[in-house]
């Protein structure tokens, strides 16, 4: 872990323009300015399809910005760094590897000896409650269990930056609340900075220190809200607090407008 207390992630006027299959340019994000401190949990909310995920791929180094700069611990991002963990929206466990082997994948890719990798992987499987399932294949698990495997596989690498792209959106409501609590617990044991992308405002307030509202696509930062709810939090309980409702109303006023714009555009496209 770096000793200085500079920001963990900095986006300076970052933007990304893709070439669409038909050859035209498509700007996913533009003029992104955002600073995320070390150990901070930041949630990014915005209308569907506005380019939230692109922000994550820029930070992860999977994609390079076409304009501006992305800095991680003060250094420009060049390719995938070893400090970054990424939990994807879709299942990204390797179906041909057993649960244990899936969790071992990260350390093995990074050159950790087999026995040590196995020990670390077992410890993390134990922590996410899948100790008894290490010999199973992903298709033999439920959606929630597979997500736990993904979490263990990410945390086993000790990421200092944790990027999450709507990780729980495919889960049912109850499993989702449970996983959110578990995420907070796991995160509490590290000092990782988290960027959590979601379209669910409730989820973002319940989890984060800061909520970033994005505009309708091409997305840019609209406003950043500080969430002053005390920790440790229980996702189900914090939702009922008056302060939560107050914050929700405040942010929704801002977010709702962008959602409306996106919807109207959608309607115009259909017409």
Partner 1 sequence: MSPEILPETAVAARAAEKTGVDRSPARARAARRRTLLVTAARVLVLVLVLGLWELLSRTEVIDPFNFSMPSKIWDQTWTWITHGTALGSLGEQIWYTLQEALLGWVFGVVAGVVLGIALGRIAFLADILGPYIKVLNSIPRIVLAPIFVIWFGLGPASKIASAVVLVFFPVFFNAFQGAREVDRNLVANARILGAGDRRVTFQVVIPSATSWIFTSLHVSFGFALIGAIVGEYIGATKGIGLLVAQSQGTFNAAGVYAAMVILAAVALVAEGLLTFTERRIFRWKPPADGR
Is 169 in contact with 14 (CB distance < 8 Å)? no
- Among 26, 39, 67, 92, indicate the residue that binds partner 1 (CB under 8 A): 92
Does residue number 110 form part of the binding site for partner 1 (CB under 8 A)? yes
- Among 26, 39, 68, 94, indicate the residue that binds partner 1 (CB under 8 A): 94
Does residue number 106 form part of the binding site for partner 1 (CB under 8 A)? yes
The DSSP output letter for 217 is S
Does residue number 96 form part of the binding site for partner 1 (CB under 8 A)? yes
DSSP string, 36-79: E-TT-EEEEE-STTSSHHHHHHHHHTSS--SEEEEEETTEE--S
Count of residues touching partner 1 (by CB under 8 A): 25
- Among 13, 76, 109, 234, indicate the residue that binds partner 1 (CB under 8 A): 109
Residue 233 C-beta: closest distance to partner 1, Å: 27
Does residue number 86 form part of the binding site for partner 1 (CB under 8 A)? yes
Rounded CA separation 65/12 (Å): 10
- Among 29, 72, 105, 141, indicate the residue that binds partner 1 (CB under 8 A): 105
Q: Number of C-alpha atoms within 13 angstroms, CB side, residue 146?
A: 20
Chain positions 201 to 260 lying near partner 1, rule: CB under 8 A, are none
Residue of 193, 196, 258, 250 whose CA lies nearest to 225 = 250
Does residue number 90 form part of the binding site for partner 1 (CB under 8 A)? yes
Does residue number 54 form part of the binding site for partner 1 (CB under 8 A)? no
Q: Which is nearer to partner 1, 110 or 260 (CB)?
A: 110
The DSSP output letter for 219 is B
Does residue number 195 form part of the binding site for partner 1 (CB under 8 A)? no
Q: Which is nearer to partner 1, 139 or 231 (CB)?
A: 139
Rounded CA separation 201/205 (Å): 6
Q: Which is nearer to partner 1, 102 or 215 (CB)?
A: 102
The three-class DSSP label of residue 166 is coil
Q: Which is nearer to partner 1, 94 or 252 (CB)?
A: 94
Cis peptide before 232 (omega within 30 of 0): yes
Is 38 in contact with 193 (CB distance < 8 Å)? yes
- Among 15, 46, 85, 167, indicate the residue that binds partner 1 (CB under 8 A): 85
Strand (E) or helix (H) holding 180: helix 173-188
* x-marked contacts with partner 1 along 130-149 as a string, rule CB under 8 A: -------xxx----------
Q: In what order do the strands lie in the sheet with 193-198?
A: 84-87, 161-165, 193-198, 41-45, 210-214, 221-226
Does residue number 153 form part of the binding site for partner 1 (CB under 8 A)? yes
Residue 255 C-beta: closest distance to partner 1, Å: 27
Residues at the interface with partner 1 (CB under 8 A): 60, 62, 80, 82, 84-86, 88, 90-92, 94-98, 105-106, 109-110, 137-139, 153, 157
């Amino acid at each position: 872990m770096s000793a200085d207390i500079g920001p963990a992630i900095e986006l300076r006027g970052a933007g990304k323009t893709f070439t669409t299959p038909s050859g035209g340019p498509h700007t996913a994000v533009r003029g992104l300015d955002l600073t995320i401190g070390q150990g901070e949990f930041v949630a990014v909310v915005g209308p569907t399809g506005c380019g939230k995920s692109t922000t994550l791929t820029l930070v992860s180094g999977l994609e390079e910005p076409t304009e501006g700069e992305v800095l991680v611990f003060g250094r420009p991002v060049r390719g995938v760094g070893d400090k970054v963990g990424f939990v994807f929206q879709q299942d990204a466990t390797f179906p041909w590897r057993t649960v244990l082997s899936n969790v071992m994948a990260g350390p093995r890719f990074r050159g950790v000896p087999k026995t040590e990798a196995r020990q670390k992987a077992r410890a993390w499987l134990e922590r996410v409650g899948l100790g008894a399932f290490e010999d199973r294949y992903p298709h033999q698990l439920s959606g929630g269990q597979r997500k736990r495997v993904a979490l263990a596989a990410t945390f086993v690498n000790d990421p200092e930056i944790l990027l999450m792209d709507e990780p729980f959106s495919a889960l049912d409501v109850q499993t989702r609340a449970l996983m959110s609590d578990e995420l907070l617990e796991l995160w509490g044991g590290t000092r990782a900075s988290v960027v959590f992308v979601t379209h669910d405002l409730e989820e973002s307030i319940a989890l984060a220190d800061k909520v970033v509202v994005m505009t309708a696509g091409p997305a840019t930062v609209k406003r950043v809200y500080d969430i002053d709810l005390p920790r440790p939090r229980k996702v189900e309980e914090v939702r009922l607090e008056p302060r939560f409702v107050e914050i929700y109303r405040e942010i929704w006023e801002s977010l709702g407008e962008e959602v409306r714009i996106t919807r109207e555009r959608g309607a115009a496209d259909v017409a």
